[in-house]
Amino acid sequence: MSRKTFQRLSLDVRRRSLMEATLTCVARHGLHGASVRRITEEAGVTVGLVRHYFGSKDDMIRNAYAYLVGQLTAQASESARAAEGTPEAQLASFLRANLTRPNMDEETVSLWATFIGRVRHDPGFAEIHRDGYREFLSVLETLIEPVLIHHGCPYSVAICRNHAIALNGLIDGLWMEGAINSGLYAQDILPDLITGAAERLLELPAGALSAPDIALQSTGHPINREQQSKPS
Amino acid sequence: MSRKTFQRLSLDVRRRSLMEATLTCVARHGLHGASVRRITEEAGVTVGLVRHYFGSKDDMIRNAYAYLVGQLTAQASESARAAEGTPEAQLASFLRANLTRPNMDEETVSLWATFIGRVRHDPGFAEIHRDGYREFLSVLETLIEPVLIHHGCPYSVAICRNHAIALNGLIDGLWMEGAINSGLYAQDILPDLITGAAERLLELPAGALSAPDIALQSTGHPINREQQSKPS
DNA sequence: ACTAAAATTAATCAATTGTATAACAGTGTG
DNA sequence: CACACTGTTATACAATTGATTAATTTTAGT
CATH of the domain at B45: 1.10.10.60
Same domain, B66 and B164: yes
| Euclidean distance between CA atoms B71 and B77, whole angstroms | 10
Question: What are φ and ψ of residue A196, in 5° steps?
Answer: -60, -45
Is residue A137 in some structural domain? yes
B101-120 pLDDT, tens digit each: 888 999 999 999 999 999 99
Under 8 Å CB-to-CB from A146, ≥6 apart: which residues? A87
Under 8 Å CB-to-CB from B176, ≥6 apart: which residues? A116, A172, A173, A176, B109, B112, B113
The share of chain B scoring above pLDDT 70, in percent, equals 91
| Euclidean distance between CA atoms A129 and A135, whole angstroms | 10
* CB-based contact A117:B117 (threshold 8 Å): yes
Q: What is the dihedral of CA B142, B143, B146, B152, to 10 degrees?
A: -120
Q: What was the pLDDT predicted at B62? A: 97
Q: What was the pLDDT predicted at B10? A: 82
* CB-based contact B138:A138 (threshold 8 Å): no
Q: Does residue A204 surpass a pLDDT of 90?
A: yes
Cis geometry, peptide bond prior to residue B212 (ω within 30 degrees of 0): no
User: A113 and B110 in contact by Cβ < 8 A?
Assistant: no
Is residue A40 in some structural domain? yes
Across the interface, of B106, B109, B169, the residue whose CB is closest to A170 is B169
Is residue A139 in some structural domain? yes
Same domain, A17 and A124: no
A13-62 pLDDT, tens digit each: 999 999 999 999 999 999 999 999 999 999 999 999 999 999 999 999 99
Cis geometry, peptide bond prior to residue B154 (ω within 30 degrees of 0): no
Given CB atoms, is A211 within the 8 Å cutoff of chain B? no
| Euclidean distance between CA atoms B114 and A25, whole angstroms | 15
Q: What was the pLDDT predicted at A227? A: 40
Residue A188 gets which letter from DSSP? Answer: G
Across the interface, of A28, A107, A165, the residue whose CB is closest to B193 is A165
User: Nearest nucleotide by C1' from B52 CA?
Assistant: C7
Same domain, A84 and A21: no
By C-alpha distance, the chain B residue nearest A131 is B182
- If residue A93 lies in a helix (H) or strand (E), which one and from where to where? helix A87-98
Q: What was the pLDDT predicted at B216? A: 41
Is residue B17 in some structural domain? yes
CATH number reported for the structural domain that contains residue B116 in this entry: 1.10.357.10
Residue A205, amino acid: P
Same domain, B14 and B78: no
* Long-range contact set of residues B220-227: C-beta below 8 Å, sequence gap at least 24: B220/B188, B220/B189, B220/B191, B220/B192, B222/B93, B222/B96, B222/B97, B222/B100, B222/B191, B225/B85
From the CA of A35, how many Å to the C1' of C11? Answer: 28
From the CA of B2, how many Å to the C1' of D25? Answer: 11
User: Once rounded to an integer, what is the mean pLDDT over residues A203-224?
Assistant: 61
Under 8 Å CB-to-CB from B148, ≥6 apart: which residues? B154, B155, B159, B160, B163, B202
| Euclidean distance between CA atoms B64 and B69, whole angstroms | 9
Total of domains in chain B: 2
Closest CA to B185 of B171, B196, B174: B174
A105-133 pLDDT, tens digit each: 999 999 999 999 999 999 999 999 999 99
Same domain, B38 and B100: no
Q: What is the dihedral of CA B198, B199, B203, B204, to 10 degrees?
A: 140
The share of chain A scoring above pLDDT 70, in percent, equals 91
Same domain, A26 and A75: no
Is residue B228 in some structural domain? no
Same domain, A140 and A32: no
Q: At what angle do helices B87-98 and B123-150 cross, to 10 degrees?
A: 140
Q: What was the pLDDT predicted at A212? A: 55
User: Once rounded to an integer, what is the mean pLDDT over residues A66-92?
Assistant: 87
Same domain, B127 and B48: no
* Long-range contact set of residues A75-83: C-beta below 8 Å, sequence gap at least 24: A75/A102, A75/A103, A76/A103, A76/A136, A76/A139, A77/A139, A79/A103, A80/A139, A80/A143
Is residue B44 in some structural domain? yes
Q: What was the pLDDT predicted at B227? A: 39
From chain B residues 100-159, the ones with a CB under 8 A of any chain A CB are 106-107, 109-121, 126, 129-130, 133-134, 137, 154
Quick one: pLDDT band at residue A1, thresholds 50, 70, 90?
low
Expressed as residue numbers, the domain containing A49 is 10-55
Q: How far is CA A126 from the centre of its chain?
A: 17
Under 8 Å CB-to-CB from A35, ≥6 apart: which residues? A25
Q: What was the pLDDT predicted at A140? A: 93
Q: How far is CA B228 from the centre of its chain?
A: 27
Residue A215 gets which letter from DSSP? Answer: -
Q: What angle do CA A10, A13, A14 make, to 5 degrees?
A: 80
State the distance between the two ends of chain A, measured CA to CA, in whole angstroms. Answer: 75
| Euclidean distance between CA atoms B162 and B168, whole angstroms | 10
Q: What was the pLDDT predicted at B80? A: 75
Residues of chain B under the 70 pLDDT cut: 1, 212-232
| Euclidean distance between CA atoms A219 and A3, whole angstroms | 62
User: Once rounded to an integer, what is the mean pLDDT over residues A154-164?
Assistant: 94
From the CA of A47, how many Å to the C1' of C22? Answer: 15
Is residue A222 in some structural domain? no
Is residue A210 in some structural domain? no
Quick one: pLDDT band at residue A198, thresholds 50, 70, 90?
very high
User: A174 and B176 in contact by Cβ < 8 A?
Assistant: no
Q: How far is A116 from chain B (nearest CA, A)?
A: 6
Quick one: pLDDT band at residue A225, thresholds 50, 70, 90?
very low
Residue B36, amino acid: V
Same domain, A73 and A179: yes
What residues of B are in contact with residue A218 (Cβ under 8 Å)?
A: none
What residues of B are in contact with residue A110 (Cβ under 8 Å)?
A: 116-121
By C-alpha distance, the chain B residue nearest A170 is B170
Same domain, A20 and A76: no
| Euclidean distance between CA atoms A50 and A43, whole angstroms | 11
In chain A, positions 18-37 with C-beta closer than 7 Å to nucleic chain C are 33-37
From chain A residues 56-75, the ones with a CB under 8 A of any chain B CB are none
DSSP 3-state assignment of B55?
coil
Same domain, B40 and B136: no
* CB-based contact B111:B27 (threshold 8 Å): yes
Same domain, B99 and B195: yes
What residues of B are in contact with residue A166 (Cβ under 8 Å)?
A: 170, 174, 193-194, 197
Instruction: Pick A157 or B80 by higher pLDDT.
Output: A157
Closest CA to B167 of B189, B148, B186, B187: B148
